[in-house]
Amino acid sequence: MEIHPKITPIYQTSVFKFEDLNELELYFGEPGSRYLYSRNGNPNSDELAAAVTQLEGGAGAVATGSGMAAIFAAVMAYCEAGDHVLCAADIYGGSSALLSQELSRLGITVSYVPFADLTANLAAHAQPRTRLLLCETISNPLLRVVDLQAAAEATHALGLKLVVDNTFASPILTRPLEHGADLVMHSVTKYLAGHSDVTAGAVVARTPEDAARLRQIGTLFGLTLSPMESWLAVRGLKTLRLRMEAHCRNAQAVAELLVGHPAVGEVFYPGLSVHPQHQLAASQGGGRFGGMVSFRLADDTTEAVSRFMRACQRFPFAPSLAGVDSSLSYPAGTSHRALTEEQRQELGITAGLVRLSVGIEPADELLADLQQALDD
């Protein structure tokens, strides 16, 4: 009996069989026509890569074991020993730690560029062997919005590549390749998978040549995502648009509540008209602003944050983001813990800064919980 499944089965196998040497030669002669070993690719990871490629409007992608693996693959696609990377100062702390602590051991150096210089003064930071600029569409954790078109123009004018981490925005809000980026990466763990039950990453290339290079790196460094994790991520992708609409709607309501509360000193959300890049975010995001909200308590201390965390019922302290269930995180103690106190202060990551990942629960329940926690 021939079976025709509606969805792709999980190919939970590390290796694939060949009938004869002719079939083996087809594998090497026609990439993608056969499977040999799951590290080289498997139907599930290829399905995820193809889906994210379509979402981002790229030429090809590689699915990786995590978002960090995706960043590593993106940098290695363009860099070798002796090369130099420019990185936005406003970026996930794990990304900066990878660049500064680990890639430096491979002879790849990094310089951090202030937000204001990403488009207006990028040349002042470039070196003879600078190869790329790495930035985030919406920065972690203060939600600054990069002008991707201007960043691409500034980068390409210097002969560099633009690599964009699109995790906070997702391709539902912004597709960086359409604005001139060369590679776009995701922590698929977050919005793309969406249910806090998978760890994965992906890098999408604008050109077929870069896509082939990414696949080579994924294979040789052993970064390829497993079949089960790939299957879970593809399942999550099917509701991405619906989830993002709910995340954005709830986050807007949360941000507006926080702005008016006396216990809150400052709110960071691109959907607020007072946000410095509000108009840019509206244009680049199609009028949607994402599901992440950060705020600084008026009592800018760790003690105040602890009291707030203990009082919250619907926002558990869980230092990740983008699941269907809301959560909160503490950047100074988690995502940016590896930075020095001086570095955190320069970026505005103070003791009283809280980052909310706003889920898709009923908005009135989330607002009531935040109200009582702030009133406590």
**Which pLDDT score is estimated for 159?**
98
Could you confirm whether 269 is annotated as catalytic?
no
What are the tens digits of pLDDT across the range 176-190?
999 999 999 999 999
User: Token match 């950047």: residue?
Assistant: 331
User: Token match 């390409």: residue?
Assistant: 156
Average pLDDT value for residue range 224-240: 97
Q: Answer whether 204's CB lies under 8 Å from 61's CB.
A: yes
* Active-site position among 46, 165, 182, 210: 165
What are the tens digits of pLDDT across the range 60-117?
999 999 999 999 999 999 999 999 999 999 999 999 999 999 999 999 999 999 999 9
Which residues, in sequence order, are bridge partners of residue 267?
295
Between the alpha carbon of residue 44 and those of residues 11, 151, 183, 280, the distances in Å are 7, 34, 22, 37
CA angle 188, 234, 18 (to 5 degrees): 110
Query: What phi and psi values does residue 95 have, to the nearest 5 degrees?
Result: -65, -45
* Active-site position among 175, 190, 243, 288: 190
- The tokens describing 339, both together, are 């930075």
- The tokens describing 109, both together, are 């150096």
Could you confirm whether 190 is annotated as catalytic?
yes
* Active-site position among 35, 92, 112, 330: 92
Residue 351 pLDDT class (50, 70, 90 cuts): very high
Could you confirm whether 238 is annotated as catalytic?
no
* Active-site position among 34, 39, 235, 337: 39
Could you confirm whether 299 is annotated as catalytic?
no
Average pLDDT value for residue range 331-359: 88
Given a cut of 70, is residue 31 above it in pLDDT?
A: no
- The tokens describing 334, both together, are 């988690």
